[in-house]
Structure 1
Amino acid sequence: MLNFEKYLSDFNSTISLEEFVLNLVLTTVIVYLLKLFYIKFGNTVSDRAKFSNNFIPLALATLLIITVIKSSIALSLGLVGALSIVRFRAAIKDPEELTMLFLVIGFGLIGGANKPILSIVSFIFILPILFFNFKISKQSSLETGKTYLNINTSRQDLLKLTDSLAKDVSYLELRRSDISKDGMFVSYMIQLNEPGDILKIQNMLQNFDADIRISIIDQSTVSA
C-alpha cells in the first residue's frame, strides 16, 4: 500500500519554475554537446549536421511532454492512447541514427523527470563509450579497405542495381536506400578487387542511368 501511495505521489508531484528552467537549460546543453560529438565522430554517410539539427527540438519536446504528463495518471494514459494511433514515417535506415535518436529522447526523459544529476552522470559515462565504439567501427572498415559508394538516380530498380554492382566488387553491403517519386538515393559499402575496377563500376552505372550521379568516399576521409 505504501508503494502504491508513493507511486501516486510521483504523479501528483509538481516541479518549481526554477527546476523546470534548470532542466531545460541542462538538457539543451547536453544534447547540443551530443550533436557536436555526433557530427565529428559519427560514421553514417548521410549529412550528420543536417540530421542532428533535430536533436535539441526532439529532446525539449520529450522533456515538455514528460513534465506535463507525470503530474496526472489520466494524462499519461491519454498520451499512450494518442500515440497508439500515430504512424511515424521517417527515412532512417542506419542503426547509428536510431541509436542517437534514442539517446536524445533518453536525455529528454531524464530532464522531464527532474533528474539533473542523473543526466550529467549519464552523459559523462556514455560519451566515452560512444567515442570508442565509433572509433572501433571506423577502424574495422579501414582495415578491410572498404569505401562508401553513394548513388543518385532517377530509376527505382534497387534490385537490378545491387545485382549489377555485386558482379564487380568483392564485398557489397547496402547501408541506406531512400526512394521517392523523383528517383532513388542508395549508399553502399564496397570493397574493390583491384583499383582499376572503379572504372568498370562507373561504366556499368552510366549504362544503368545516363544521368546518374556517383560519389565514392574513402573511409579515411570521413570525419575522424
Structure 2
Amino acid sequence: MSKELTKQTNKSLNPQWKARQVETLSLSKNIIEGNAKLAQIEMGLTINETFSKPILRSVFVGDYSSVGFSVVKVLVNRFIDSFAFTTKLNDDQIDSLTVDTLESFAYESLQDIILFFKMCRSGKFGVAKKSIDSNLIFGEWYPKYLEKKAELREQDYNAQKNELNSTPITMDDVKKYHAKVEKKNFVKRVENYIDKITEYMDRQLLEDTILDWSKDPNRKPYLDLLKRKRKTIK
C-alpha cells in the first residue's frame, strides 16, 4: 500500500474526513442526475482546494464503484463535447476513456478531474489540433497537471514550515503544553479508576455513587466521567 493511500485510509477513520466522503458521493449523484451546476463549480475551484478532498479509491469502493464509473463518464462526455471536432468518440471509446480517467486519478479527487478537464479544455497544457484521445490527455496533459499540483503542494509545505519556524516558542508555551499533557494523563487515570470501581456495579449502586461524588468537591469535577457509565450499566 502506498504512503498516500495509507494516509487517506487513516483519514477515512476521522469523522470529518468521512463527512467529506459523503459530500463527494452527494456531488457525484447530483452530477449523474444533472442537478449539479458544473460551470459554477469550475469557476470557484482551485488546485489548492483538491488537497483536502478524498481520493477516488477511498470514495468509490464496494457498492459505490458503479457511482464512480457513472459520474466520471458524465464528466468525460461533457469534456469531449466541449471540443468542436466533427468526429466524436463512440460509446466504446467513451467507456475506455472513462476507465483510463478512473485509473489515472485513483489517487486524486473528483474535484481534480473536474479541474483538470477544465484546464485542458481552456488550453492550459496545450492545443488539441485534430482530435482528443487518451494518448493526448494522459500522455501529455495529465503529467503537466500533476507537476503543477506537486509544485503548489511544495509551496504550501514551505509556507507552513516558514510560518512554524517564524513563531517563537516561549517558556510559557512550554508550561502550558506540559500542563495540558499532565491534565490529559490525569483524566485518563481517573477513567481507569472509574472502570475499576464500576466493574461489578448494578444501576442502583452506580446512581448512589454518582450522588456521593456530586457532594464531594474533589470528585465533583469528574462527575461527568462517572455518569458516562449510565450508557453501559443498565
TM, length-normalised to structure 2: 0.28
Using CA pairs under 8 Å that are at least 6 residues apart, name the structure with larger relative contact order, 1 or 2: 1
User: Greater strand percent: which structure?
Assistant: 1
TM, length-normalised to structure 1: 0.28
User: Greater helix percent: which structure?
Assistant: 2
